[in-house]
Amino acid sequence: MQGFSCALYFQGWVLEAIPKTLEEALCLQEAGITPDHVVMLGAPDVILIERSSGKRIDPVTGDVYHITFMWPESEEVAQHLETPSTLMPSDPIAKKLQKFHTEANALKRTYHSCLKIINADQPNVDVFSQVLNYVCTPRHSASPYTPRILLFGPPGSGKSLQAKLIAQNYGIVNICCGELLKAVSADESHMGELIKPYLETKQQVPSSIVLQILTERLSRMDCTTRGWVLHGFPQDVEQAEELEESNFIPNRVFFLEITDDIAIERVTLRGVDPVTGEWYYSIYKPASGPEVQSRLRFNPRHSKAQLLKRLKEYWNYAADLQAFYPQAVYINADQDPHTVFESLESRLVSRLPKIQSY
């Protein structure tokens, strides 16, 4: 078994017909099986149905033939060809194709950074040539590194918005720790049931549990291949150390800076229209009319008293986190959101900072 593993390491490997689902792809990733190249063969459904229904098998040799595309030259072989026992009528084949397309869309997103889709509706020799050319080409990332970004900042600094803009522009995974916990608590998994009481009673979920959920998410294929932008964790140096010990080390760290007065203006004067889902700000973006203003809803968590408490908690740990990440970049977040994003973007595309050695 050890010799077999060494052969795989030095010679490489080819997997066929797996993964067929997103769940299988995640299981492979968790087992440490990460492909350098992924090839997906595609053709119109009409062609695929015709190919499937026309298959014939030689029961003696196991060779596969086709009544249209690949008929045996020997009449003797042709006479004892059999229809495969797994061959289905065209209607079930169409349903199977529909299921494949659904799963294929998820697999395309998962293997986005190393996927090549090749038209299989052409001669086999041409398909093989294109596949071989692709797998013999070294992988090149679209960026000079796989982005692993941490965003820090006090409440109201715009972390969620900037993470969303970064994810949209660079195709990386946006992970808000708070939203991730809510999503896990909503499912029926053991971990979801474990953290649900904490969220329902508005208690802090133990750091060890948060880290377990977070590292599982960061280990998934989309994060490892496309990169991630994380906000809401770590909240203190102890959590930062635990994240690093779990081998999830950011290569970009940003602190979005605003004063407490600006944070109070942004957060306490913010309300949402329950009809449209639109957010309004008394100073920066007032409601479009008296009717909208009258139905705005304000989150109790955004009250001044609650905000001051959250600000105090942030500043209690901010200096230590800044010392823990000496290569961090500080961005003035008291600007138009797109100006802030331009400042972030200019640092994202630049070369990685060199770590000083002494």
Same fold flag, 18-23+35-135 and 148-348 = yes
pLDDT of residue 5: 39
Spans of the chain below 50 pLDDT: 1-10, 140-144, 352-358
* φ, ψ for residue 66, nearest 5 deg: -140, 140
Domain coordinates in residue numbering, the chain: 18-23+35-135, 148-348
Handedness of CA 230, 239, 224, 344 (dihedral sign): positive
Measure the CA angle with vertex 33, ends 28 and 39; round to 5°.
85
Q: What is the DSSP letter of 297?
A: B
How far is the C-alpha of 176 from the C-alpha of 284, rounded, in Å? 25
How far is the C-alpha of 265 from the C-alpha of 157, rounded, in Å? 11
How far is the C-alpha of 227 from the C-alpha of 173, rounded, in Å? 6
pLDDT of residue 352: 46
Instruction: Record the tokens describing residue 27, joined without a space.
Output: 């299981």
pLDDT of residue 25: 79
308: Cβ contacts below 8 Å, ≥ 6 apart: 260, 264
162: Cβ contacts below 8 Å, ≥ 6 apart: 151, 256, 337, 340, 341, 344
How far is the C-alpha of 256 from the C-alpha of 258, rounded, in Å? 7
Residue type present at position 100: F
Superfamily of domain 18-23+35-135 in the CATH hierarchy: P-loop containing nucleotide triphosphate hydrolases (3.40.50.300)
* φ, ψ for residue 115, nearest 5 deg: -100, 140
CB distance 249 to 148 below 8 Å: yes
Question: For 174-220, what is each residue's pLDDT tens digit?
Answer: 999 999 999 999 887 888 889 999 988 888 899 999 999 999 999 98
How far is the C-alpha of 155 from the C-alpha of 278, rounded, in Å? 19
Superfamily of domain 148-348 in the CATH hierarchy: P-loop containing nucleotide triphosphate hydrolases (3.40.50.300)
Question: Which spans in 187-303 are helix H?
Answer: 190-200, 207-218, 221-226, 237-245, 260-268, 290-294
Q: At what angle do helices 207-218 and 190-200 cross, to 10 degrees?
A: 130
